[in-house]
């Protein structure tokens, strides 16, 4: 049996005093001096070694990028610094002082702040309440008006728009991420940990965030930045540390790095050539010839309400044929979520029709729609795609446990299920100690893979994919794209909604742009013009785009 | 005619509030415990211990106020015990709560076995608030009570204020909703839960004291007659909101009183009046039934982590 740990009031000793100490310490820290030193960090979880003897240092005023495949141990390493986990071995020094954080509270007191890979926000509270939760300046009595004011001030300063009075459950993934980032900025942390902070941000917000990161570093903050996007790394970081399977591969200055070298460090020598060929494979994607009149999904003049009762989708019509990928580009929060939820039956349509394979399924409920062969990869996978406290296997069979051979009349057929799940785990390269581990214990990217594996494994007729590659590492991203293309070749219809314009353009046969609840400028892939799409994404009307072109004589 | 009706109504309101007060006190405490994520099904047991302790101390010192204090302390100790078992040892909260009921029932009758049938010489007496008590109906209804009823008015308001208008209230709601998110923001989840659960125990003890020192100032075994269970249902009925708990408590109090008032007319109509006596319990069952559907629970705002122990990092 495990030894019984009794977590009785285990907060740090008088955090206010150590906070003051951190503050005064900070005045003596010069640029380039080491503020965080982690030595020989080892962390084991049942069945995996998440970190093995990792040395890591962070200098004052630098942006230090942390790279690695899904499950490499990045989140674990920074969680140890943030006091969420205790290391099995190793030492941590902050501002030269040896520390042992028992909880995030202790880390916060030393001026460390973290943006979590999956926003740690409380759904039923408002944005302001969530921020007031740990804000030192928040007064005890009636803190909200002041906090709301502060939020406005900061969101203007950093270009991260949020509505302080909105309840968190109403927010899109992007909005949640903005709140989470805003929060650490407001807490005035001097050591910032950003764990994949840009996955749900729009390109503009991303630029603003990079700007903010650079400014903060300039002002003397030190930043750990985790991402899977190599161009982001090259753009903002000063140094890069690469992890692979829990071990550190090396630390190099960004000036000496290039994407090819980084991929080699992340994946290991052997794997690289294969990767490249995968890339070229996806480039060589075959264009399907007009597959005739096989309409899989038809949306007609659809109106849908958003959470706040506003018209989120206004008169959208389009069709998706079998063997076709229809891409919807657009900045988050322009009605994509509501549109998708209406199609899969999670949200009522106010007006309009949705037909699947010619059958009217408007407002018919998600189970009916799912049983017609619709796979759904939701935007917020952790909340809507997974049951965190169930095992990997149980999550994988969520869609078909009712059917033969997964279950008999009464009992689940466990041996068939585990066989089937093992196959999926292998095929989708889900890194997990076993299929009986709770999904909560997987790394962020591997959680995504569980959803993908479940949804794509049942030969769906329609795939509704919302940001399908969000949070996946380089190799996995390519793999998912390849999978989608394979599904398409098999004859599935695919509705791809993504903010990543490159992704939409690379995969889709036809592309539409969503802005303010309307779908505009549907065009064939061959006719795509990046400039035109970008303008449409920012709300310039079709007619104006054309005028703009005419003026310039294009 | 009308003046006697006014007096009657005032009287009905008065007794309803009096009967509702122990329900209110216990459910206020439970609102806090559950909002922080700890379910305490043991209210009935803690109320019994509070009632017994309060009675014994009041009887032997002759001072009911001391009895009230003793009941609060006794309730708090049991609440603390529940907190330790549920939070630190991570035991199943339903089982721990049910165990408390049995412990409370047994312990209270053991403690007070020499007092059975004895009435309290100096109980908590109703006091009229000068001026206010002269308002028709309302005056008799709200302002002619013992000190604990007056205290309950203030406690309700203060608890509502703390819950919705202070930083601590945000902490409590956050901890009951998503402890790992609260923890990540530096809120001490364990401490908040300990405080709320202990406070819930103290309030249940106080509720017991009101029964044995003011409402029916004497000792009989099982003096709370299931009010702990009604208070639990009330928490759901109130959707974990202190103000709504007050309204609910007085409604339940009214039904408790009505069974005596309607006895004669019912008998005249040939209906067994003891049927009425089951009303609070039937209402309780209905509320619990409705409140146990997952979808409804979500809609009425049940704390999402209610009943789940928290372990960091998993
Ligand atoms: N709480 C936990 N319990 C058990 N195992 C865990 C836990 N957290 C992480 N792991 C395991 O540790 C390993 C490293 O996970 P980690 O989350 O650090 O990866 P990561 O580098 O952040 O990956 P990603 O890019 O997918 O987010 C994974 O194999 C994961 O399954
Ligand atoms: Mg991670």
Give pLDDT tens digits for B44-58: 999 999 999 999 999
The answer to whether residue A167 scores a pLDDT higher than 60 is yes
| Contacting residues for A259 by C-beta, under 8 A, at least 6 apart | A230, A231, A234
Q: Would you call B177 and A85 a contact, using CB atoms and an 8 Å cutoff?
A: no
Check: CB of residue A512 under 8 Å from CB of residue A522: yes
Residues 227-246 of A with CB under 8 A from B: none
% of chain B at pLDDT higher than 90 = 69
Give chain A positions within 8 Å (CB) of B185: 104, 108, 120, 133-134, 183
The answer to whether residue A282 scores a pLDDT higher than 80 is no
**What's the mean pLDDT when you consider all of chain B?**
91
Q: What integer pLDDT is reported at residue A554 of this predicted model?
A: 43
What number of C-beta contacts closer than 8 Å exist between A and B? 97
Ligand 1 atom 31: the closest Cα is on which residue? A442
Interval B225-244 mean pLDDT: 92
Judge if ipTM > 0.90.
no
- For B64, other C-beta atoms within 10 Å of its C-beta total 27
> What tens digit of pLDDT does each residue of A98-136 get?
999 999 999 999 999 999 988 899 988 999 999 999 888
Q: What integer pLDDT is reported at residue A286 of this predicted model?
A: 47
Upstream peptide bond of A405 is cis (omega within 30 degrees of 0):
yes
* pLDDT-derived band at A547, boundaries 50, 70, 90: low
- Can you name the CATH fold of B3-299? ABC transporter involved in vitamin B12 uptake, BtuC (1.10.3470)
Q: What integer pLDDT is reported at residue A289 of this predicted model?
A: 47
* pLDDT-derived band at B286, boundaries 50, 70, 90: confident
Give chain B positions within 8 Å (CB) of A10: 190
The answer to whether residue A306 scores a pLDDT higher than 80 is yes
Q: What integer pLDDT is reported at residue A549 of this predicted model?
A: 53
Burial class (CB in 10 A: 0-12, 13-18, 19+), A461: middle
Q: State whether residue A122 sits within 8 Å of chain B by CB.
A: yes
Which of A80-94, A220-234, A391-405, B253-267 has the weakest average pLDDT? B253-267
Q: What integer pLDDT is reported at residue A353 of this predicted model?
A: 92
Which residues form the pocket of ligand 1, taking CB atoms under 6 Å from any ligand atom?
Answer: A 45, 48, 50, 68, 70-76, 117, 431, 441-446, 473; B 313-314
Domain boundaries, chain B: 3-299
Q: From B201, B277, B222, B235, select the one nearest B112 (Cα to Cα).
A: B222
**What is the pTM (predicted TM-score) of this model?**
0.80
Instruction: Report the alpha-carbon distance of residue A168 to residue A121 in Å, rounded.
Output: 7
Test mutation, A134, A144, A183, chain B, max B CBs within 10 A: A134
- The CA angle A495-A500-A502, to the nearest 5 degrees, is 95
Interval B125-146 mean pLDDT: 90
Q: Report chain B's C-alpha Rg in angstroms.
A: 20
Q: What integer pLDDT is reported at residue A14 of this predicted model?
A: 38
Q: Would you call A79 and B88 a contact, using CB atoms and an 8 Å cutoff?
A: no
Give chain A positions within 8 Å (CB) of B91: none
Q: State whether residue A102 sits within 8 Å of chain B by CB.
A: no
Q: How many helices (H) and strands (E) does chain A have?
A: 20, 20
**What's the mean pLDDT when you consider all of chain A?**
84
Give chain B positions within 8 Å (CB) of A104: 183-186
Q: What integer pLDDT is reported at residue B268 of this predicted model?
A: 83
Check: CB of residue A416 under 8 Å from CB of residue A405: yes
Quote the tokens at residue A430.
């889900």
Distance from CA of A103 to the nearest CA of B (A): 8
Q: How far is the CA of A443 from the centre of ligand 1 (A)?
A: 3
Q: How far is the CA of B188 from the centre of ligand 2 (A)?
A: 24
Q: From A184, A187, A186, A203, select the one nearest A195 (Cα to Cα).
A: A184
Q: Which atom of ligand 1 is nearest to the CA of A473?
A: 25
Q: Would you call B167 and A138 a contact, using CB atoms and an 8 Å cutoff?
A: yes
Q: How far is the CA of A435 from the centre of ligand 2 (A)?
A: 19
Interval A42-69 mean pLDDT: 93
Q: What integer pLDDT is reported at residue A299 of this predicted model?
A: 93
Q: What integer pLDDT is reported at residue B143 of this predicted model?
A: 93
Comparing CB atoms, the residue among B87, B89, B177 nearest residue A122 is: B177
Which of A252-261, A367-376, B274-283 has the weakest average pLDDT? B274-283
Residue given tokens 């309060």 in the structure block: B54
The answer to whether residue B24 scores a pLDDT higher than 70 is yes
Angle between helices A272-283 and A474-490 (to 10 degrees): 40
* pLDDT-derived band at A396, boundaries 50, 70, 90: very high
Angle between helices B227-237 and B242-261 (to 10 degrees): 130
Q: What integer pLDDT is reported at residue A365 of this predicted model?
A: 86
The answer to whether residue A74 scores a pLDDT higher than 90 is yes
Q: What integer pLDDT is reported at residue B283 of this predicted model?
A: 73
Q: According to the per-residue pLDDT averaged within each range, which of A315-319, A344-348, A357-361, B68-72 is highest?
A: B68-72
The answer to whether residue A246 scores a pLDDT higher than 50 is yes
Instruction: Report the alpha-carbon distance of residue B218 to residue A460 in Å, rounded.
Output: 71
Q: State whether residue B164 sits within 8 Å of chain A by CB.
A: no
Residues 188-217 of B with CB under 8 A from A: 188, 190-191, 194
Give chain A positions within 8 Å (CB) of B188: 9, 11, 103, 105
* pLDDT-derived band at A212, boundaries 50, 70, 90: confident
Quote the tokens at residue B1.
């005619």
């Amino acid at each position: 049996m495990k030894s019984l740990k009794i977590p009785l009031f285990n907060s740090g000793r008088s955090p206010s005093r150590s906070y003051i100490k951190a503050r005064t310490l900070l005045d003596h820290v010069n640029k380039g001096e080491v503020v965080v030193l982690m030595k020989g960090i080892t962390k084991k979880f049942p069945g995996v070694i998440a970190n093995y003897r990792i040395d890591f240092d962070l200098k004052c005023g630098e942006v230090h990028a942390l790279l690695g495949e899904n499950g490499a141990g990045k989140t674990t390493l920074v969680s140890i610094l943030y006091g969420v986990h205790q290391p099995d071995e190793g030492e941590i020094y902050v501002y030269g002082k040896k520390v042992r954080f028992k909880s995030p509270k202790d880390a916060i007191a030393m001026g460390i702040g973290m943006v979590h890979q999956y926003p740690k926000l409380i759904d039923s509270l408002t944005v302001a309440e969530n921020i007031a939760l740990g804000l030192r300046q928040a007064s005890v009595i009636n803190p909200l008006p002041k906090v709301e004011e502060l939020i406005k001030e900061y969101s203007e300063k950093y270009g991260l728009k949020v509505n302080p009075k909105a309840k968190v459950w109403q927010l899109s993934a992007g909005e949640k991420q903005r709140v989470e980032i805003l929060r650490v900025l407001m807490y005035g942390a001097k050591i910032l940990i950003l764990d994949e902070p840009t996955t749900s941000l729009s390109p503009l917000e991303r630029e603003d965030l990079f700007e903010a990161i650079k400014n903060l570093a300039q002002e003397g903050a030190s930043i750990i930045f985790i991402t899977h996007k190599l161009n982001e790394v090259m753009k903002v970081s000063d140094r890069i540390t690469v992890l692979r399977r829990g071990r550190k591969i090396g630390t190099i200055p960004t000036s000496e790095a290039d994407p090819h070298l980084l991929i080699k460090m992340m994946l290991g020598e052997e794997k690289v050539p294969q990767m490249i060929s995968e890339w070229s494979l996806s480039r060589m994607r075959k264009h399907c010839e007009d597959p005739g009149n096989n309409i899989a999904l038809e949306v007609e003049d659809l109106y849908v309400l958003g959470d706040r009762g506003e018209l989120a989708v206004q008169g959208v019509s389009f069709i998706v044929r079998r063997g076709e990928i229809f891409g919807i580009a657009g900045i988050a929060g322009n009605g994509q979520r509501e549109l998708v939820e209406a199609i899969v039956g999670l949200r009522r349509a106010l007006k309009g029709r949705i037909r699947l394979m010619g059958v009217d399924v408007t407002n018919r409920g998600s189970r009916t729609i799912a049983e017609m062969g619709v796979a759904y990869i939701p935007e917020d996978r952790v909340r809507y795609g997974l049951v965190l406290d169930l095992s990997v296997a149980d999550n994988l069979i969520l869609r078909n446990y009712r059917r033969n051979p997964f279950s008999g009349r009464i009992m689940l057929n466990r041996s068939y299920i585990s066989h089937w799940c093992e196959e999926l785990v292998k095929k989708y390269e889900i890194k997990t100690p076993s299929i009986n581990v709770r999904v909560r214990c997987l790394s962020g990217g591997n959680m995504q893979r569980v959803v993908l594996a479940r949804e794509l494994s049942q030969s769906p007729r329609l795939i509704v994919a919302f940001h399908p590659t969000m949070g996946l590492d380089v190799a996995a991203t390519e793999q998912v794209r390849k999978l989608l293309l394979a599904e398409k070749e098999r004859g599935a219809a695919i509705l791809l909604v993504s903010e990543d314009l490159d992704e939409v353009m690379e995969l889709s046969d036809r592309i539409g742009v969503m802005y303010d609840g309307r779908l505009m400028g549907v065009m064939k892939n061959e006719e795509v013009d990046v400039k035109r799409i970008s303008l449409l994404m920012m709300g310039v009307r079709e007619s104006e785009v054309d005028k703009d072109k005419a003026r310039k004589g294009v | 005619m009308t003046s006697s009706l006014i007096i009657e109504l005032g009287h009905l309101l008065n007794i309803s509030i009096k009967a509702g007060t122990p329900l209110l006190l216990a459910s206020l405490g439970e609102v806090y415990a559950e909002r922080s994520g700890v379910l305490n099904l043991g209210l009935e047991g803690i109320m019994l211990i509070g009632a017994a302790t309060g009675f014994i101390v009041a009887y032997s010192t002759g001072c009911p106020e001391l009895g009230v204090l003793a009941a609060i302390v006794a309730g708090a100790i049991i609440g603390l015990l529940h907190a330790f078992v549920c939070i630190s040892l991570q035991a199943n909260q339903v089982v721990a709560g049910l165990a408390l009921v049995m412990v409370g029932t047994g312990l209270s009758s053991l403690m007070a076995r020499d007092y059975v049938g004895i009435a309290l010489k100096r109980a908590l007496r109703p006091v009229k608030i000068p001026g206010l008590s002269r308002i028709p109906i309302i005056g008799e209804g709200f302002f002619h009570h013992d000190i604990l009823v007056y205290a309950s008015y203030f406690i309700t308001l203060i608890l509502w204020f703390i819950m919705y208008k202070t930083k601590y209230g945000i902490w409590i709601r956050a901890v009951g909703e998503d402890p790992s998110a609260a923890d990540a923001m530096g809120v001490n989840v364990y401490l908040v839960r300990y405080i709320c659960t202990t406070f819930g125990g103290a309030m249940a003890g106080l509720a017991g004291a009101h029964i044995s020192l003011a409402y029916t100032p004497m000792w009989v075994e099982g003096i709370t007659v299931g009010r702990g269970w009604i208070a639990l249902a009330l928490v759901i009925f109130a959707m974990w909101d202190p103000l709504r708990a007050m309204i609910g408590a007085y409604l339940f109090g009214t039904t408790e009183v009505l069974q005596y008032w309607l006895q004669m007319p019912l008998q005249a109509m040939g209906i067994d009046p003891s049927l009425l006596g089951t009303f609070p319990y039937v209402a309780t069952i209905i509320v619990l039934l409705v409140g146990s559907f997952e979808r409804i629970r979500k809609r009425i705002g049940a704390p999402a982590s209610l009943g789940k122990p928290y372990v960091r990092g998993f």
